C-alpha cells in the first residue's frame, strides 16, 4: 500500500511528473522475471486476514516452498524489492512484515474541458445524498443485523 | 479464510455480470456468505439484476475509493430486496453487493482522477474479514486494465467467460497468458451463448485443448434468459432450466477451490 505521502499526493494533485511514481502496477508484476514475480504475486494474494498488514519472512518462506530455486536467497530478494520501491516493509527482522507497494492508478490525460463537461453532472446529483432514514446504523452492524 | 473469485472476459457483452450474480446467488442459496464488488467502474451494471437503481444506491465503491466512506457504508445487504415478491428467494440469504456509481459525473471523476489500487485491495480484504465471507466475487471491466489485473492477481480463482466467436477466442488467449504470469491458483473458462446446435461436449474439449485450461461449463444461448433481460436472477427462478444447470456447474466447481 502506498504510504501516507503518496495518498496525500493523490488527493492534492501534487504529482511530480519528473519523478517516477513509487510502487508498481499488477501489469508490471506480470512482466517481471522469476523469482521476483512469484514473490510479489504471493505477497499480493496472501496479504489478508492475519497477514493483512504484510507477511512475515518465515510465513512467506513456507508459502514459497518449492517455488524458489534458492530459498536461502529470499531475505536478499526481499531487500532488493524494498530498495526498488516495489515492496514495503514494516518493522525490523525478525519481526518484519512485507507487502506489495501498488502504484496509484495513473490519471487521465484527456482534455480538461471534456472532464469538466462530464463532471457537471456531479453537482446536479449532489455529492452527498441524504442518508436513508432506514439505514441509521453504521459500520458492519448495519449489514449483519437481520 | 474466504476466497476471492474474479469473473472476467476480454470483450464486453459476454454475460459477465449475469453469470456473477447467478453463481453468487447459487452459492448463497447453499448457505455460503457471499459478496459481490462491481469494479466495472466505467460501465457498472450488476446492481440491476438485484433490483437496485439510482434511487437506492446512495453510496458506491467510488465513495470508498475517494476516501469519502468506509467500504462497509458502500455495501448493501441484498436480502432487503426480498420485499419484492419476485425476489422472495433472497430473504434469508447472506449476500451483499458493493455497486459502482451509476452517476455520469462520478464515473467521469474516477476515470479522470484515478484511484489508489492499494486501497481497493484493502477494501476487498476488509470485506472478506468483517463480513466473514466464504466468497468475494469481483465483477470486472472487460479487457485488461489496472483494476482488472489487480483483481486477477489477488484472486484465488479466475473465471474467464467467452463466446464461441473468433474475436473472443483471440482476446481470451491474452487474458489466459496474463493470468498464468500472475500465477492464479484456479483458472476456469466458461463458454456462454453457445448455439444449441453445437455438441457442447466437443466444444468444451476444443476450448480446453486450445487454452490448456479446464472448462467449468458451457451455457446455451437461451431466449428464456434473454427474455429475463437482466431483471432478476434467472437460475433462482428457473433452477431446472439448462442454463441454470450450467450455472450450478460453475458453482460446484468454485466449491472445490482450495
Say how many CB pairs under 8 Å bridge A and B: 144
* Model pLDDT, residue B64: 94
- What is the DSSP secondary structure assignment for residue B206, as one 8-state letter? H
Tell me which of A97-111, B25-39, B40-54, B219-233 is least confident: A97-111
Question: H or E element: which one contains B28?
Answer: helix B16-29
| Grid coordinates of B230 | 437482466
- pLDDT(A143) > 60: yes
Neighbouring-strand partners of residue B177: none
* Model pLDDT, residue B90: 95
Average pLDDT over residues A87-104: 89
Q: Please state, in angstroms and rounded to a whole number, the distance separating the CA atoms of residues A32 and B118.
A: 19
Residue A16's pLDDT band, with cuts at 50, 70 and 90, is very low
Average pLDDT over all residues of chain A: 75
Within 13 Å of residue A118, how many CA atoms lie on the same side as its CB?
Answer: 18
* Model pLDDT, residue A128: 52
Of the residues A29, A105, A110, A136, the best mutation for testing chain B's interface (the one with the most B CB atoms within 10 Å of its CB) is: A105
- Chain A residue numbers touching B122 (CB-CB < 8 A): 1, 52
- Chain A residue numbers touching B33 (CB-CB < 8 A): none
Whether ipTM tops 0.85, in short, is: no
* Model pLDDT, residue A53: 85
Conformational region of residue B193, where left means phi above 0, alpha means psi within -120 to 50, and beta covers everything else: left
Closest chain B CA to residue A104: B116
Which strands make up the sheet holding A55-56, listed edge to edge? A55-56, A97-100, A87-90
Residue B54's pLDDT band, with cuts at 50, 70 and 90, is confident
- pLDDT(A130) > 60: no
Q: Which of B126, B72, B53, B37 is nearest to A145 (CA)?
A: B72
What is the Cα B44 distance to its own chain's centre? 11
Q: B131 and A115 in contact by Cβ < 8 A? A: no
> What's the pTM value of the predicted model, to 2 decimals?
0.84
Q: Which of B231, B165, B130, B184 is nearest to B8 (CA)?
A: B184
Tell me which of A36-45, A69-78, A100-109 is least confident: A100-109
C-alpha distance from residue A24 to each of A69, B18, B111, B224 (Å): 24, 32, 19, 45
* Minimal CA separation from A70 to chain B, in Å: 19
- pLDDT(A121) > 90: no
Please tell me which residue, B82 or B146, carries the higher pLDDT value: B82
Average pLDDT over residues B233-240: 97
Amino acid at each position: 500500500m502506498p504510504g501516507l505521502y503518496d495518498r496525500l499526493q493523490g488527493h492534492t494533485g501534487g504529482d511530480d511528473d519528473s519523478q517516477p511514481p513509487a510502487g508498481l502496477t499488477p501489469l508490471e508484476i506480470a512482466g517481471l522475471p522469476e523469482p521476483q514475480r512469484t514473490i510479489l504475486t504471493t505477497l499480493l494474494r496472501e496479504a489478508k486476514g492475519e497477514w493483512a498488514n504484510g507477511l512475515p519472512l518465515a510465513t512467506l518462506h513456507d508459502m514459497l516452498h518449492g517455488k524458489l530455486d534458492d530459498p536461502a536467497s529470499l531475505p536478499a530478494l526481499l531487500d532488493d524489492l524494498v530498495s526498488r520501491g516495489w515492496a514495503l516493509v514494516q518493522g525490523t527482522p525478525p519481526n518484519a512484515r512485507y507487502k506489495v507497494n501498488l502504484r496509484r492508478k495513473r490519471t487521465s490525460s484527456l482534455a480538461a474541458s471534456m472532464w469538466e463537461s462530464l463532471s457537471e453532472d456531479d453537482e446536479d446529483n449532489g455529492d452527498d445524498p441524504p442518508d436513508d432514514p432506514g439505514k441509521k446504523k453504521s459500520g458492519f452492524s448495519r449489514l449483519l443485523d437481520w | 479464510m474466504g476466497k476471492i473469485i474474479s469473473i472476467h472476459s476480454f470483450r464486453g457483452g459476454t454475460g459477465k455480470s449475469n453469470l456473477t450474480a447467478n453463481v453468487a446467488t447459487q452459492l448463497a442459496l447453499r448457505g455460503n456468505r457471499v459478496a459481490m464488488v462491481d469494479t466495472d467502474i466505467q460501465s457498472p451494471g450488476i446492481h440491476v439484476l438485484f433490483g437496485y437503481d439510482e434511487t437506492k444506491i446512495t453510496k458506491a465503491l467510488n465513495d470508498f475509493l475517494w476516501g469519502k466512506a468506509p467500504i462497509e457504508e458502500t455495501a448493501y445487504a441484498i436480502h432487503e430486496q426480498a420485499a419484492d415478491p419476485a425476489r422472495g428467494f433472497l430473504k434469508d440469504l447472506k449476500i451483499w453487493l458493493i455497486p459502482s456509481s451509476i452517476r455520469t459525473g462520478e464515473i467521469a471523476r474516477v476515470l479522470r482522477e484515478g484511484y489508489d489500487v492499494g486501497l481497493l485491495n484493502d477494501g476487498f480484504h476488509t470485506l472478506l474479514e468483517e463480513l466473514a465471507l466464504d466468497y468475494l466475487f469481483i465483477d470486472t471491466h472487460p479487457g485488461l486494465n489496472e483494476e482488472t489485473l489487480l483483481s486477477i492477481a489477488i484472486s484465488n480463482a479466475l473465471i474467464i467467460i467467452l463466446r464461441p466467436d473468433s474475436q473472443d477466442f483471440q482476446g481470451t488467449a491474452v487474458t489466459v497468458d496474463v493470468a498464468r504470469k500472475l500465477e492464479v491458483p484456479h483458472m476456469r473458462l466458461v463458454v456462454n451463448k453457445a448455439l444449441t446446435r453445437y455438441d457442447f461436449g466437443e466444444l468444451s474439449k476444443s476450448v480446453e485443448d486450445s487454452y490448456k485450461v479446464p472448462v467449468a461449463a458451457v451455457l446455451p444461448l437461451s431466449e428464456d434468459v434473454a427474455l429475463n433481460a437482466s431483471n432478476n436472477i434467472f437460475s433462482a427462478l428457473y433452477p431446472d432450466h439448462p442454463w441454470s444447470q450450467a450455472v450450478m456447474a460453475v458453482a460446484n466447481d468454485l466449491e472445490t477451490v482450495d
